[in-house]
């Protein structure tokens, strides 16, 4: 954390493809032009080839951050650069693919026509479009739907088409806003596989998702945003590690056992105790106490909190802060 502003400063990276520095965004809304501070001094760097997940509750500023990066929203102050060029510069977007949240394609176009038009907009020559469109439709599982109007597509099919659109120009950076929204489990797995394959090619991927399990499975690094600030950054393991502890399974717990005296929580059945601080000393003291009370210990295992649990703890702690 930055000592003064509470801003997370990422570690130095030699050649970031995304560089964001002291970024602020304030929206003025309504007749009275009341101000909403969507971003409050965000600093972030993403090296080439990294898969970065952005997490945060609704209104955290995730989508605004991505939109500033793409030049869709203009920053109030600060700097956002793609490949060393200002984020609003169209030439920087030539090497970028984007799948917006709740994207809308014209409903009267077929899947193939949609990709053709968006391919043109991405400045792809005829030959490249002819070669890539059928291949991408095949890869996202829409080959047999290529001449079907987009208006007849389900939400999941729209997401697949959106992904194909984002990959048309073989981008070096792919920005995905809720890529698996509305997609069934098989489709989600397909998208994950596609993202892993992209990662193998050295593509930088930035994902904004509410599905923490998706982030956990795909991302190298995760940023957690809250109220316009990046409050934590690290690998999935690092963030989940903060919730690591022990789980002790017992035959029964005496009524006299007072869980408030220990850094523990009890499962509803009162047949297992979760030791939250993860310190061996705490574990050993607790075992001694339980044995002294005549409790039979049936098993002890390392308890690793999920990213989701870590995320919820972090956000709850932030909400509780004055």
Contact residues toward another protein (CB under 8 A) are 27, 67, 70-74, 90-91, 93-94, 96, 98, 100-106, 108-109, 113, 117-125, 165, 175
CB of 170 to another protein, least distance (A): 13
CA-based Rg of the chain, rounded to a whole angstrom?
A: 24
Between residues 17 and 290, which has the closer beta carbon with respect to another protein? 17
Of the two residues 74 and 186, which places its CB atom closer to another protein in the complex? Answer: 74
CB of 257 to another protein, least distance (A): 55
Q: Which of 163, 161, 56 is nearest to 111 (CA)?
A: 161
Q: Which two tokens stand for residue 119?
A: 């391919």
Least spacing, CB of residue 284 vs another protein, in Å: 56
Q: How far is the CB of 28 from another protein (least distance, A)?
A: 10
Q: Is residue 184 a contact partner of residue 214, using CB atoms and an 8 Å limit? A: no
Residue that is written with structure tokens 């965004």 in the block: 25
Nearer CB in complex with another protein: 52/168: 168
The 10 Å CB-count burial string (b at 16+, else e) for 240-271 is beebebbebebeebeeebeeeebebeeeeeee
Residue in 247, 230, 248, 237 with CA at minimum distance from that of residue 306: 237
- Tokens representing 25 are 């965004």
257/273 Cα distance (integer angstroms): 11
3-state secondary structure of 234: strand
> Closest CB to another protein among 125 and 280?
125
> Looking at beta carbons only, is 77 or 102 nearer to another protein?
102
User: What is the smallest separation between the CB atom of 24 and another protein, expressed in angstroms?
Assistant: 13
CB nearer to another protein: pick between 2 and 108: 108
- Choice between 175 and 198, CB closer to another protein: 175
Helix axes 126-139, 155-167, angle to 10 degrees: 140
Shortest gap between Cβ of 216 and another protein (angstroms)? 27
Task: Look up residue 100 and give its DSSP letter.
Answer: -
Instruction: Please state the closest distance from residue 118 (CB atom) to another protein, in A.
Output: 7
Tell me the pairing of strands 272-275 and 264-266.
Answer: antiparallel
Nearest CA-CA partner of 10 in 61, 47, 37: 47
Closer CB to another protein, 82 or 315, in the complex: 82
Decide if 286 contacts 272 (C-beta within 8 A). no
């Amino acid at each position: 954390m930055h000592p003064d502003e509470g801003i997370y400063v990422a570690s130095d990276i030699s050649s970031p493809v995304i560089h964001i520095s002291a970024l602020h965004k304030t929206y003025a809304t309504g007749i009275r032009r009341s101000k909403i501070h969507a971003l409050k001094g965000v600093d972030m760097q993403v090296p080439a080839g990294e898969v970065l997940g952005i997490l945060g509750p609704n209104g955290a500023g995730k989508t605004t951050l991505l939109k500033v990066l793409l030049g869709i929203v203009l920053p109030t102050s600060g700097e956002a650069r793609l490949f060393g060029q200002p984020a609003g510069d169209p030439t920087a977007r030539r090497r970028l693919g984007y799948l917006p949240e709740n994207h809308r394609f014209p409903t009267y176009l077929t899947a193939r026509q949609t990709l053709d038009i968006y391919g043109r907009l991405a400045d792809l020559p005829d030959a490249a479009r002819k070669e890539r469109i059928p291949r991408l439709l095949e890869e996202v599982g829409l080959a047999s739907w290529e001449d079907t109007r987009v208006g007849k597509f389900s939400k999941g099919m729209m997401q697949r088409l959106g992904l194909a659109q984002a990959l048309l120009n073989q981008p070096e950076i792919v920005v995905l806003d809720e890529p698996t929204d509305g997609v069934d489990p098989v489709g989600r797995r397909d998208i994950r596989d596609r993202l892993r394959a992209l990662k193998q090619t050295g593509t930088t991927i930035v994902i904004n998702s509410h599905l923490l399990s998706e982030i956990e499975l795909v991302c190298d690094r995760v940023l957690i945003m809250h109220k316009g600030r990046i409050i934590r950054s690290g690998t999935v393991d690092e963030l989940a590690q903060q919730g690591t502890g022990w789980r002790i399974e017992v035959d029964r717990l005496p009524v006299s056992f007072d869980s408030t005296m220990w850094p523990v929580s009890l499962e509803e059945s009162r047949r297992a105790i979760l030791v939250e601080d993860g310190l061996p000393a705490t574990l050993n003291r607790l075992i001694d106490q339980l044995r002294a009370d005549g409790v039979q210990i049936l098993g002890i295992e390392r308890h690793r909190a999920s990213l989701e649990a870590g995320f919820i703890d972090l956000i709850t702690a932030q909400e509780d802060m004055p």
